[in-house]
Structure 1
Amino acid sequence: MLHTIRTRQAVRFLLGLVDDEDTAERVRTRTGLSGSDDPSELRGARLSAWFTGTAPVSLLLWVLEEDDPELNTLVWRHPRADEFFRRAIARGVPFGAGRTAPVAVEARLRGSEPPVPEAYTRYGLAGALAEGTSMAVARRAASMVLTADDWAEAARADAAGPLPGYTRWALAVRPDCPPALRARFGDHPKFTHRVRRAGVLAGPASYATGWEPAGQVLSVLTLGAELFPRRVGEAEDALRPLVRDHLGDREEAWAVLAQVVDTFHGTVPELMITSGALA
Structure 2
Amino acid sequence: MNRGNGHPGVHFLLSLIDQDDAAAVRRRLGIGEPEELAVEHAVQWLDRLPRPRSVLLWMLQEDDPATNRVLFNHLGTPGTIKRDILRGVPFGGTGGRLHVLVHGQAPEIPVGPRGVVGDLREARTMKTARAAARVVGGDDWTDVAEADRTEPLPGYARWALTERIDCPATVRAQFGSHAKFTHRLRRAGIVEPAEYVEVTRPPQDMLAVLRLGEVLFPRRVREAAAVLAPLVHSELGVDPDAWAVLAQLLPRFAGTVPELVRTSGAVARV
C-alpha deviation, 1:190, in angstroms: 1.2
The TM-score with structure 1 as length reference comes to 0.81
Are positions 1:61 and 2:52 aligned together? no
* 2:218 partner SS: coil
Unpaired segments ≥5 residues, structure 1: none
* CA shift in 2, pair 1:104/1:182, >3 Å: same
C-alpha separation between the residues in 2 aligned to 1:273 and 1:143? 43
* Aligned residue in 1 for 2:166: 176
C-alpha separation between the residues in 1 aligned to 2:77 and 2:123? 20
Q: 2:110 aligns with which of 109, 117, 120?
A: 117
% identical equivalent positions: 45
C-alpha separation between the residues in 1 aligned to 2:40 and 2:29? 23
Unpaired segments ≥5 residues, structure 2: none
Check whether the contact 1:92–1:105 (CA below 8 A) recurs between aligned residues.
no
Check whether the contact 1:142–1:170 (CA below 8 A) recurs between aligned residues.
yes
Amino acid at match of 1:61: L
C-alpha deviation, 1:241, in angstroms: 0.4
Q: 2:68 aligns with which of 51, 72, 78?
A: 72
Are positions 1:18 and 2:17 aligned together? yes
Check whether the contact 1:87–1:143 (CA below 8 A) recurs between aligned residues.
no
Check whether the contact 1:117–1:141 (CA below 8 A) recurs between aligned residues.
no
| CA deviation string 1:207-249 (max 9, x = no partner) | 3333333111221222233212333222222211010122113
Q: 1:141 aligns with which of 132, 137, 144?
A: 132
| CA deviation string 1:149-199 (max 9, x = no partner) | 522211222233332222111111223333343233222211111112212
Number of aligned pairs? 266
The TM-score with structure 2 as length reference comes to 0.84
Check whether the contact 2:42–2:216 (CA below 8 A) recurs between aligned residues.
no
Are positions 1:263 and 2:252 aligned together? yes
* Aligned residue in 1 for 2:117: 126
C-alpha separation between the residues in 2 aligned to 1:255 and 1:72? 38
* Aligned residue in 1 for 2:4: 4
